[in-house]
Amino acid sequence: MEKDPVRKDPELKHPEFKVRAEDVGLAYFWLRIIVGVNYFNHGFVRLGNLTGFADAMAERFKDTFLPSGLVWITGLAVSPVELVVGLLITVGWFTRSALVATFALMLVLMYGVTLLQDWDTASSQLVYDLILFVLLAGLGYNRWAIDNWLQTRQTQRDFPPDPPLPGTPRRRTRRSQWV
C-alpha cells in the first residue's frame, strides 16, 4: 500500500494543515488593506455632507435618553475618524494605535446601535470587531507596512554596519557603507 505524501500516518483521517509565516504575513497585508480601505471610504464618502450625517444621526436617536447635541457632535466626528484610521490602517502607519482607535470608535457605534436595539447592525459590527481583533492580535505579521519600514530604517541608523577589520581588503557599496 502506497503512503499518501500529504499524510505522515496512513491511519490519519485528515491531512496535516501547515501554515507558513510568509503566507500569514501576506494574508495579513491584504486583510489590513481591505479593512483600511473599508474604513477610509466610510469616512470619505460622507466628507462633503458631515452636517447632514450628524443631523440624520441626531434624528435617529431623538427618542433615546442621549442628549441630541452629544449625538450630533459624535455624528460629526465619526466620518473624519473613519477616514483617518482607515488611511493609517491601509498604509500600515501607526497601525497599532489606529486599530485601538478603531476599536474605540466601534465601542461608541456599538453602544448606539444596541441602545436603538438595531440587532442586525450590531451583528454586522461584531464581524468588524472580530476582524479588528485578528489584525491587532496578529500585529507581529505586519511586515509590509510603513511601520515596519520605519523600524528597519531606524535600526539600521542606530546600528550601522561595522567597518572592516584592519588588514582586510576594503570595498564600498553604492551607499558608501563598508561591507
Of 47, 66, 81, the residue nearest 114 (C-alpha): 66
Q: How many domains does the chain have?
A: 1
CA 160-96-104 angle, 5° bins: 160
Specify whether the CB–CB gap between 54 and 73 falls below 8 A.
yes
- The strand ranges marked E within 1-128 are none
Q: How would you write the pLDDT of the chain (179 residues) with one tens digit per residue? A: 555 555 555 565 666 778 888 999 999 999 999 999 999 999 999 999 999 999 999 999 999 999 999 999 999 999 999 999 999 999 999 999 999 999 999 999 999 999 999 999 999 999 999 999 999 999 999 999 999 999 888 887 777 776 667 776 666 555 555 44
74 assigned to some structural domain: yes
Specify whether the CB–CB gap between 109 and 125 falls below 8 A.
yes
Question: Buried (b) or exposed (e) across 103-126, using 16+ Cβ within 10 A?
Answer: eebeeebbebbeeeeeeeebeebe
The domain containing residue 67 runs over which residues? 21-158
139 assigned to some structural domain: yes
DSSP category for residue 50: H
In the chain, the amino acid numbered 8 is: K
164 assigned to some structural domain: no
